[in-house]
Amino acid sequence: MTQRIEVLEDIFKANNSQALLNCSRLEKAGIFSLNLMASPGAGKTSLIEQTILGLKGKTRVAVIDGDIATSMDADRAEKAGATAVQINTGGECHLDAFMIRNALDRLDLSAIDILLIENVGNLVCPSAFRLGAHQNVLVASTPEGHDKPYKYPGMYQGVDVLIINKIDLLPYINFDMQFFAQGVEILNPRIRTFLTSCSTGEGIQSWIDWILHQKKSFSAV
């Protein structure tokens, strides 16, 4: 048991060291970066598509898409107008800092202002591995249920931004927003929250305005 703990500590230490290098590399290039995490089906890729479209003509966007297999998500990001790199983890349930380092090697960083990292769909493993992004974003969706903050506290504690997606479905499903919000408040009282629907467009502009404001503040430092 002790040996296993030591191995895990070594893995996290090496990953975190590389994450710091990734962050420094992005900052030197003037790139503001977001790590987007979610469970499968929460609408993460759809949100990224809407984000790319909303930022078109305002800033230069690239996407690193992580998935176990296929290039479907990267293809969607490219179709929406972003430069995209696909990472296939080959079974790993999360991205890590070394995967991001390799993906950055495949991008022209001088041609990017904002980098969106789409992590593998999972509410457990991604929260444990830093990537070097400036902000960690969780995309939750109403059909997942209002108990998720209570069942996956590690994920909700470790993010800077929460997007509650698919709010257009609220009239048709049993989702207790107050119960959900109470769970989030207990775990992460300083989190910034957006309510969105990729189907109707509700809340998307507020999310895009926030990204542009963060990028402006980041560039001014």
Query: What is the distance in angstroms between the CA of the first residue and the CA of the last residue of the chain?
Result: 45
Tokens of 36: 């987007």
- Output the pLDDT for position 220: 75
Q: Map out the domains of the chain with their CATH numbers.
A: 2-220 (3.40.50.300)
pLDDT tens digits, residue range 58-90?
999 999 999 988 899 999 999 999 999 999 998
- At 88 the pLDDT is 94
pLDDT at position 11: 84
Give me the pLDDT at residue 8, please.
Answer: 67
The rounded distance, in Å, linking the Cα atoms of 76 and 192 is 27
Question: Tell me: the pLDDT tens digits for 127-171?
Answer: 999 999 999 999 999 999 999 999 999 999 999 999 999 999 999
Query: pTM of the entire structure?
Result: 0.94
Distance CA 204, CA 11 (A): 37
pLDDT in tens, 202-215: 999 999 999 999 99
219: Cβ contacts below 8 Å, ≥ 6 apart: 30, 32
CA distance 144 to 39: 9
- Which pLDDT score is estimated for 4? 61
